[in-house]
Every structure is written in structure tokens, then in C-alpha cells.
């Protein structure tokens, strides 16, 4: 009788632990559906619980979503924004600073775009704009600041070596 009570308590404890683990990490979805030969050829992709392809149509099923390569770090990291935050993307700032060529906005654009592409490959596309921060226009480079408004975190502005550059993440 005592061993039966202990068994029930241990089983209950394990179920509670399992339930809290599933709640914490989420419950995996099922596999993908198959495509019929008449209409939509090819099956859907498999979910994490199946770790394989979906059902086969004439083209066969797609690959599973959780069994491939690990996803790369996302390019845009969320940050708190304020007026004094010209570059909330710390990783981009270093690439922009390294890519700026003194008094050459065109070479700076190409250098920065290449550096961003190498770092983020096909995961993220960028718009890069550079201009000469000409102090002679107003006597002070800060008077020539470009004013902008952003509803997101995917941007970075850097002024270095008399060149102003801005990188913006594109999403489409």
C-alpha cells in the first residue's frame, strides 16, 4: 500500500514537471500535409514533432522545419530608442566605422554594403547611403546633421572621417 502511494506521488511529480516544461518551451506542431497530384503538387513541410518531410504528392513532401541547420542570429536586434541614439545596432556600427573611407562617400557605400553582406549573407538586405559631412557649409559638421524618424530599430548612422553614412535594414 505504501509503495503504491509513493509510486503515485512520484508519477504525479513527473507529470507536473513535464507539463511545466512543455508550457515553458511550447508544444511542437505536427507534420505537414500532402499535396494531391491533380492540383497542388508537392507536400507541405514537416513540423518539429515529425522531424521529417510532409506527406507526398507527385513532388514529394517538403523538409522538416527543426532538423536542418540552426538559424543564424537575426540582423536587427531590438533596442530602446531616443533622440541621442544614432545607431542602436552595435554590431552594425563597427562595420560602418571600419568601412568609411576618408572623404570618399562612394567608396564608403561600397565598402559598407560589402561588409554587411558578408556578415549577414542572404538573411538581411540593406540600404546604405553616404554623403560628405562638409564642415565648410556651416562651419560645423553637427549643423549638417541629417534629421530622420524611425519606427523601428533597423538603422545605424555614423559620422567619421568627414563622411556621414546610414545603413537601413530592408524588409519585403
Interval 146-156: pLDDT, tens: 666 677 788 99
Instruction: Note down the domain range covering 45.
Output: 41-70
140 and 98 co-located in one domain: yes
132 and 161 co-located in one domain: yes
pLDDT of residue 44: 47
Q: Is the pLDDT of residue 128 over 80?
A: yes
User: Exposure of 126 by Cβ count < 10 A (0-12 exposed, 13-18 middle, 19+ buried)?
Assistant: buried
Give the containing element (helix H, strand E) for 170: strand 163-170
pTM score of the predicted model? 0.49
Residue pair 8/16 in contact by the 8 Å Cβ criterion:
no
Instruction: Count other Cβ atoms within 10 Å, centred on residue 73.
Output: 10
What digits encode the pLDDT tens for the residues 52-80? 444 444 444 444 455 555 555 566 666 55
Q: How many domains does the chain have?
A: 2
pLDDT of residue 138: 56
CATH number at residue 137: 3.30.1140.40
Tell me if 157 is assigned to some domain: yes
129 and 165 co-located in one domain: yes
Q: Is the pLDDT of residue 8 over 80?
A: no
Tell me if 46 is assigned to some domain: yes
**If you average pLDDT over residues 19-38, what whole number do you get?**
51
What digits encode the pLDDT tens for the residues 84-111? 678 888 899 999 999 999 989 999 999 9
Amino acid at each position: 500500500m505504501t509503495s503504491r502511494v509513493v509510486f503515485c506521488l512520484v508519477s504525479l511529480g513527473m507529470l507536473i514537471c513535464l507539463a511545466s516544461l512543455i508550457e515553458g518551451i511550447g508544444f511542437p506542431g505536427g507534420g505537414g500535409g500532402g499535396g494531391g497530384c491533380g492540383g497542388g503538387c508537392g507536400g507541405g513541410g514537416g513540423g518539429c514533432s515529425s522531424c521529417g518531410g510532409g506527406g507526398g504528392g507527385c513532388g514529394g513532401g517538403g523538409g522538416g522545419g527543426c532538423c536542418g541547420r540552426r538559424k543564424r542570429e537575426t540582423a536587427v536586434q531590438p533596442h530602446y530608442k531616443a533622440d541621442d541614439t544614432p545607431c542602436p545596432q552595435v554590431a552594425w556600427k563597427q562595420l560602418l566605422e571600419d568601412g568609411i573611407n576618408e572623404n570618399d562617400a562612394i567608396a564608403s557605400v561600397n565598402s559598407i554594403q560589402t561588409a554587411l553582406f558578408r556578415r549577414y549573407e542572404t538573411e538581411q538586405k540593406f540600404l546604405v547611403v553616404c554623403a560628405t559631412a562638409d564642415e565648410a557649409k556651416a562651419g560645423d559638421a553637427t549643423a549638417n546633421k541629417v534629421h530622420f524618424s524611425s519606427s523601428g530599430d533597423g538603422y545605424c548612422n555614423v559620422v567619421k572621417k568627414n563622411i556621414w553614412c546610414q545603413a537601413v535594414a530592408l524588409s519585403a
